[in-house]
């Protein structure tokens, strides 16, 4: 077996081993707040209630059919207390980042909203691993990613509770950037790069900046070593209070802290230089990250700045719960609010969709078959004008959904009743009766 094949096999085996360990931990972990609430419904004898079953089905559906997220992400919408739903979102995050979820629910009651974070296992058919949930009384969930992967966020209020919601999901670095006024463009030598003709590898990142630029504490902690070495020149070591990781600052022009000093994020620990074996290079900070039992880690994702402000949702537009229709043939409903995302459905001209939420430039919509996705605002139009007027016979059933087995909301009680047809979904039309009530009529059956 080649060296490359062996390396790939070791990585795969490592992932499988991690999944196996987490599968065991998943079995023995404490129940989540969402699970405890579901158990309380069972104890109260409510679990078999039709509405409670819909609530449980929605919770599972949010994990099985999540929508994608372009980060940072901000969505506003409405969760109808009378119509149990759960929101599911999928995102990627790297070791060294933290996932931050903020949720605000504007409700008239004190019902709780559950926010749960799961990690997708390597086996797509396996159950997602629960990683964290929102503490009661809190509006923010924060999670430090221990291993790169794909994650799921589920948001669901208690049964028969809801209201207007504002949701924000961000992925941020766990450490502050360690050189004042600089960003990722200043990193010109990455972790693992060859050194000394291949005899060793670079065990950190080099951040180039003018001589004398402040090198900053990337985390709160204690300065536990200030030294001079042949390799690093003037160096400073800081022990991170949160993780016990060791942060290494090398090639400094000056050291401005002493052993035992306490530092907070942004405090100056020294000035950028080129001491040690960097004498022949332009001034830069060699920044390293070391963890007990793991040794040197790649600092890239730990310090990479990320945009933390999502595009603002503009005022106006359709309200959650309002029906719109496709303004043309071939409108694509996507898995994420991006023109590059996968396709959930392709709408025919005048196909109606129900607005469930808004992202900047996009509506989160629900198709008549209850599948959800995102459609561009510009591709949808209101129902101010009917596409045509139809005449219905007395007794024609008007249904809640465009399905022949859907519940009947009412029946036409007058012969040759004229109704406005506001949109078409297959053989069904969304109609508006003389009393202003909406519903679905099968024109195949009415012919």
129-150 confidence digits (pLDDT tens): 999 999 998 999 999 999 999 9
Confidence (pLDDT) at 18: 58
List residues bridging with 215 in a β-sheet: 179, 270
**Highest mean pLDDT range out of 27-36, 205-214, 410-419?**
205-214
Report which of 135, 147, 151, 33 is spatially closest to residue 88, judged by C-alpha positions. 151
Contact 393, 387 (CB under 8 A): no
Q: What is the pLDDT of residues 87-132, one digit of tens each?
A: 999 999 999 999 999 999 886 566 899 999 999 998 877 889 999 9
Going by C-beta distance under 8 Å and a sequence separation of 6 or more, which residues neighbour residue 318? 324, 355, 358, 363, 380, 382
| pLDDT exceeds cutoff 80 at 12 | no
| pLDDT exceeds cutoff 70 at 200 | no
Confidence (pLDDT) at 284: 95
Percent of the chain with pLDDT over 70: 90
Confidence (pLDDT) at 134: 96
Q: Which pLDDT band, with edges at 50, 70 and 90, does 316 fall under?
A: confident
Query: Domains in the chain and their CATH numbers?
Result: 14-173 (2.60.120.380), 184-298 (2.70.70.10), 323-381 (2.30.30.40), 388-446 (2.30.30.40)
Report which of 133, 154, 158 is spatially closest to residue 88, judged by C-alpha positions. 154
Q: What is the mean pLDDT of the chain?
A: 89
Between CA 431 and CA 442 the distance in angstroms is: 10
| pLDDT exceeds cutoff 70 at 152 | yes
Task: Report the largest interatomic distance among the alpha carbons of the chain, rounded to a whole angstrom.
Answer: 97
Between CA 251 and CA 177 the distance in angstroms is: 17
Confidence (pLDDT) at 21: 61
Between CA 83 and CA 51 the distance in angstroms is: 8
Q: What is the pLDDT of residues 213-270, one digit of tens each?
A: 999 999 999 999 999 999 999 999 999 999 999 999 999 999 999 999 999 999 999 9
Q: Indicate the SS3 state at residue 238.
A: strand
Between CA 268 and CA 226 the distance in angstroms is: 14
> Rounded to whole angstroms, what are the CA distances from 30 to 33, 47, 59, 121, 132?
10, 21, 19, 19, 11
> Rounded to whole angstroms, what are the CA distances from 395 to 197, 374, 412?
87, 37, 5
Question: What tokens does 241 get?
Answer: 């209070």
Q: Indicate the SS3 state at residue 347.
A: strand
Confidence (pLDDT) at 22: 61
Q: What is the mean pLDDT of residues 157-186?
A: 94
Confidence (pLDDT) at 39: 94
Confidence (pLDDT) at 38: 94
Confidence (pLDDT) at 126: 83
Confidence (pLDDT) at 142: 97
Residue 278 CB neighbour total at 10 angstroms: 19
| pLDDT exceeds cutoff 70 at 174 | yes
Q: What is the pLDDT of residues 259-301, one digit of tens each?
A: 999 999 999 999 999 999 999 999 999 999 999 988 999 999 9
Contact 22, 129 (CB under 8 A): yes
Confidence (pLDDT) at 16: 52
Between CA 277 and CA 51 the distance in angstroms is: 69
> Rounded to whole angstroms, what are the CA distances from 323 to 118, 357, 440?
32, 12, 13
Between CA 362 and CA 351 the distance in angstroms is: 17
Estimate to the nearest angstrom the gap between the alpha carbon of 362 and the chain centroid: 16
Q: In terms of pLDDT, which residue wins out, 121 or 23? A: 121
Which residue carries 């739903």 as its tokens? Answer: 85
Q: In terms of pLDDT, which residue wins out, 14 or 88? A: 88
Confidence (pLDDT) at 123: 80
Confidence (pLDDT) at 2: 52
Q: Is the peptide bond before 72 cis (omega within 30 degrees of 0)?
A: yes
| pLDDT exceeds cutoff 70 at 198 | no
Between CA 407 and CA 80 the distance in angstroms is: 19
């Amino acid at each position: 077996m080649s060296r490359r094949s062996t390396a790939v096999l070791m990585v795969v085996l490592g992932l499988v081993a991690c999944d196996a360990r987490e599968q065991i931990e998943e079995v023995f972990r404490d129940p989540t707040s969402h699970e405890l609430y579901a158990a309380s419904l069972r104890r109260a004898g409510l679990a078999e209630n039709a509405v409670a079953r819909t609530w449980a089905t929605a919770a599972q559906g949010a994990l099985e059919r999540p929508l994608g997220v372009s980060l940072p992400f901000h969505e506003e919408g409405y969760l109808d207390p009378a119509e149990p739903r759960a929101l599911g979102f999928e995102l990627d995050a790297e070791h060294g980042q933290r996932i931050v979820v903020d949720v605000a629910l504007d409700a008239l009651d004190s019902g709780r909203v559950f926010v749960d974070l799961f990690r997708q296992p390597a086996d797509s058919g396996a159950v997602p691993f629960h990683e964290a949930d929102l503490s009661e009384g809190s509006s923010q969930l924060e999670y430090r990613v221990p291993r790169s992967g794909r994650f799921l966020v589920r948001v669901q209020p208690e049964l028969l509770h809801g209201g207007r919601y504002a949701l924000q999901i961000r992925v941020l670095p766990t450490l502050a950037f360690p050189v004042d006024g600089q960003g990722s463009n200043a990193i010109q030598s990455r972790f693992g790069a060859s050194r000394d003709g291949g005899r060793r590898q670079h065990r950190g990142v080099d951040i180039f900046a003018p001589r004398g630029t402040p090198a900053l504490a990337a985390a709160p902690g204690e300065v536990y070593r200030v030294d001079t070495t042949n390799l690093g020149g003037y160096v400073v070591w800081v022990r991170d209070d949160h993780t016990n990781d060791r942060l290494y600052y090398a090639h400094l022009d000056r050291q401005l802290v002493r052993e035992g000093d306490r530092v907070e994020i942004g405090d100056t620990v020294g000035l950028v230089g080129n001491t040690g074996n960097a004498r022949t290079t332009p001034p830069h900070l060699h920044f390293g990250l070391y963890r007990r039992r793991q040794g040197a880690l790649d600092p890239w994702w730990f310090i990479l700045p990320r945009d933390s402000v999502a595009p603002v949702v503009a005022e106006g537009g359709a309200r959650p719960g309002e029906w719109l229709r496709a303004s043309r043939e071939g409108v694509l409903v996507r898995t994420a609010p991006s023109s590059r995302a996968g396709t959930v459905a392709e709408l025919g001209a005048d196909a109606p969709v129900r607005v469930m939420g808004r992202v900047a430039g996009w509506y989160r919509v629900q198709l008549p078959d209850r599948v959800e996705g995102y459609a561009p605002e510009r591709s949808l139009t209101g129902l101010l004008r009917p596409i045509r007027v139809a005449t219905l016979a007395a007794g024609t059933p008007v249904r809640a959904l465009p399905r022949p087995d859907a519940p009947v909301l009412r029946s036409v009680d007058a012969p040759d009743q004229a109704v406005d047809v506001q949109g078409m979904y297959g053989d069904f039309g969304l109609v508006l009766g003389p009393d202003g009530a909406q519903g679905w009529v099968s024109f195949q059956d009415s012919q």
